[in-house]
Amino acid sequence: MSFAVWLAKLSGARGEILRKAPGDVNKHAAMGGVLLSTAAVAAVSAFFALHSVLRLPVVAAAVAGVAWGVVIFNLDRMLVITMTRGNGWLLNLLAAIPRVGLAVVIGSIISMPLVLKIFEPEINSELVAMQAETTQRNQEDYDKAYARITELEAEESELLAILSGRSSATVADDPDVKAAKSALDKAEEAYQAANQLAQCEFDGTCGTGVPGDGESYRQKKRAADDARNARDKAQSALDEVTEKVAKRLREGAATDTGNAQKRLPEVQADLQRLRQDREGLERRGTVATAADTGLLARLEALDRLTEGRRSGAQAHYALFLLFLCVELLPVVVKLLSSFGPETLYDRMAKRADDASDADDKLWADRDRDLEADRADQKLAMERQKLDAQTQAHAKTTQLVADKQLGMAMKAIDVWADLARLRTDEELDRWYREHAGGDQRTMPIPRVHLPHTGNGAHVNGAHVNGSTPNGVPTPNPS
């Protein structure tokens, strides 16, 4: 077998017809070569996908790639073989649509790993940027999830300051003292303003402009005195509040220290636990981010590379369409060839199929007739068997009836003989009783039955102590 014939058979051509149509060998051999090429591309694509993305060993990836190539070859061969000539180009086109759709799906699966392999350097660089962005997003999420750590750290610092004495509360920080101090400042400002107006009126530099102790001066002097009294009252209130707050702080200093000593271990334990949880989560996140280099990540990196980059997008789609056309080529060529005139191979194949169909129909008719004859013969045999059984049963029934009749007749004869014998015995006994010893009188003759063994036979019937109807047999002695 030549290599061309072998390729032709791979494409689905029938060897017995190719021998009669050698001119069509090259056409089918070309189709077989296309199928092998597509399968080889699929095997290489699977090898790159398994070795580069899944990190399988070379040998394992090669074996899996070859297996995938065989699967694709069988699918393509099935698509090509099942596409036959229909009744017209429209029917052929409609029949080819699902096959072309399946070929598009297979081509997409095959082309993607090859495209990823060709853009591998750019994809690796983009993966590093994507991992950095993921790390940054994770840190923000960690900060939100563990915001309690910041609060505990501030509380820990405050408790340590209380225990060390650096954060003892002061009188000036008390809200009541601050309010009293603010009131005193306002009263002081009011007094200074009123006193300045009174002095200005006394000097004649403002107000009425008349210097000396006049009515206007005395009014402003009284206002200044009232402001001074208000300031003095505010000062007294400040002093009183300050004394109370100072006393309260002195009494509460010991309590704050004790509370801080109790609270600090709890805060430090919670803080340590949360820090360990966050460190473990960050460690796992880092490992997961570094390992996120699989197929989906590479596809996302490829989309980001081609997004907004016209040249990258064109190169991507060009490669995708190239490998897609390689996969579609067998189906498209087979579809186009169905629109052309029939070749010698097509006509011979059609005639061979028609002849096979006619032969199959002939043999089917013959088998059907044979089955009908066998059924009729079986029915006749069953009927004959049933008739024979019916006749045998009737004959057997007649024989049984004849035998039963003969036995009944013999029984009647025996009974009659026994009854006659019993009658003779009774007459003889009566005669002996009534005749007495008169020797002149002759005895009544008796009927003797022949003896055989333990019983007697009368006219062929066996008698042993009783009659057929239950009458006892008389003793002749």
What 3 state SS string does 58-69 have?
Answer: HHHHHHHHHHHH
In tens, the pLDDT along 52-94 reads 767 788 899 899 989 988 988 888 888 778 777 655 567 667 7
Q: What is the Cα Rg of the chain in Å?
A: 65
Average pLDDT of the segment spanning 306-329: 77
| Residue 171 near residue 246 (C-beta atoms within 8 A) | yes
| Residue 43 near residue 69 (C-beta atoms within 8 A) | yes
The rounded distance, in Å, linking the Cα atoms of 10 and 73 is 10
Whether residue 168 is predicted with pLDDT greater than 60 in this model: the reply is no
Q: Write out the two tokens for 284.
A: 């796992």
Q: Write out the two tokens for 369.
A: 């007739």
In tens, the pLDDT along 241-269 reads 888 877 766 655 556 666 767 778 888 88
Nearest to 49 by CA among 104, 115, 107, 102: 115
Q: What is the pLDDT of residue 477?
A: 35
Q: What is the pLDDT of residue 458?
A: 41
Q: Residues of 46-81 as b/e, b for ≥16 C-beta within 10 angstroms?
A: bbbbbbbbeebeeeebbebbbebbeebbebbbebbe
Whether residue 171 is predicted with pLDDT greater than 70 in this model: the reply is no
In tens, the pLDDT along 89-114 reads 676 677 667 767 777 777 777 777 77
Q: Give me the helix-helix angle, 89-118 and 310-337, nearest 10°.
A: 150
Query: How many other C-beta atoms lie within 10 A of the C-beta of residue 3?
Result: 10
Q: What is the pLDDT of residue 461?
A: 41
Average pLDDT of the segment spanning 310-327: 77
In tens, the pLDDT along 390-428 reads 888 888 989 988 889 989 999 999 998 898 898 988 888
Structure pTM?
A: 0.43
In tens, the pLDDT along 20-40 reads 888 878 888 888 888 888 888
Whether residue 311 is predicted with pLDDT greater than 70 in this model: the reply is yes
Place 456 in a pLDDT band, splitting at 50, 70 and 90. very low
- pLDDT, averaged across the chain: 77
Phi, psi torsion values for 455, nearest 5 degrees: -140, -165
| Residue 41 near residue 66 (C-beta atoms within 8 A) | no
Average pLDDT of the segment spanning 432-440: 63
Average pLDDT of the segment spanning 449-460: 42
Nearest to 467 by CA among 420, 401, 406, 429: 420
Q: What is the pLDDT of residue 268?
A: 84
